Amino acid sequence: MGWEWDETLYAGSAAYYARGRFAYPPEAIDALRDALGLDGAGRLLDVGCGPGSLTIPLAPHFAEAVGIDADAGMIEEAARNAPANARFRRMRAEELPADLGTFRLVTFAQSFHWLQRERVARTVRGMLEPGGAVVHVGATTHQGETGDVPHEEIDALVESYLGPERRAGRGLRGEVTWDDFDVFAAAGFRREALIETGGGHVHERSEDDVVASVYSLSYAAPHLFGERLPDFERDLRALLRRSSPSGRFTETQREVGLAIWR
């Protein structure tokens, strides 16, 4: 990507991420349960877990769920809402396998593109128990497929404050590659299935929800605005009120893609 990870990538975004992103739809959880025969046994590792967005709804289908993330705020947010059989640990994926053991399922939910992908894919292959699987989750949860949130105007406002090149921590985001077929195949995996599910849910969103969705983005994380953050939020809320004086919005959720690898 021409970019190197640093700890400020999502600094200050954890609580906004938990509020501003759509939850993974129940159809996606059910699809994984059915495709993988999840029955409450075995262990889950969710890599780049954020505030537990996927770890927590999947946890009931395992004896133990482990989420790892490099951002301290994300780990704190996840632990705050964790069920009894889930634990969270602050660490980078590149530190795996650490002392975590083996797993029935390893998931990457909107996280794999930030990692040293070839290295991490090879490592997690060695962390799977016999018959285990990796699932790469592709989704866009900060905005819907259709709706009345003025996303183009919001992006233009962010650009007016932060410049035309999208930020990522202390650097620039660069081009993001979402299709990781070659990476997993090179690590020795075979793709078993690609499931697309969970689209079409209509969500009512408040002005505060939309503001949170903006701050949940790596390229609009609160710290990037520095002393201009109050000015940006004032302008963002004014934009939203012009679009919807009631402060209410509607968006239709996009499908979630589940690529299963063994």
* Residue 167 within a domain: no
Question: CA-CA distance, 192 to 210, in Å (whole number)?
Answer: 36
Least confident of 162-176, 200-214, 218-232: 162-176
Residue range 125-145, pLDDT digits in tens: 999 999 999 999 999 999 999
Per-residue confidence (pLDDT) for residue 2, from 0 to 100 = 62
Is 46 in a helix, a strand, or coil?
strand
Per-residue confidence (pLDDT) for residue 185, from 0 to 100 = 96
Question: CA-CA distance, 28 to 20, in Å (whole number)?
Answer: 19
Count of the separate structural domains present in the chain: 1
* Residue 50 within a domain: yes
pLDDT(1) > 70: no
Q: What is the mean pLDDT of residues 21-42?
A: 98
Per-residue confidence (pLDDT) for residue 177, from 0 to 100 = 67
Per-residue confidence (pLDDT) for residue 174, from 0 to 100 = 73
E strands within 82-181?
Answer: 86-90, 103-109, 128-138, 146-147, 167-168, 171-172
Question: CA-CA distance, 248 to 205, in Å (whole number)?
Answer: 6
* Residue 223 within a domain: no
* Residue 78 within a domain: yes
The CATH number covering residue 83 comes to: 3.40.50.150
* Residue 216 within a domain: no
* Residue 231 within a domain: no
Expressed as residue numbers, the domain containing 115 is: 14-147+175-201+253-261
Question: CA-CA distance, 181 to 161, in Å (whole number)?
Answer: 36
**Structure token pair of residue 117:** 């992908």
Q: Sign of torsion, CA 132 30 34 110?
A: negative
Is 233 in a helix, a strand, or coil?
helix
* Residue 20 within a domain: yes
Per-residue confidence (pLDDT) for residue 179, from 0 to 100 = 74
Q: What is the DSSP pairing of strand 103-109 with strand 248-252?
A: unpaired
Query: What DSSP designation does 156 have?
Result: H
* pLDDT class of 26 with cuts at 50, 70, 90: very high
* Residue 8 within a domain: no
Q: Cis ω on the peptide bond leading into residue 97 (within 30° of 0)?
A: yes
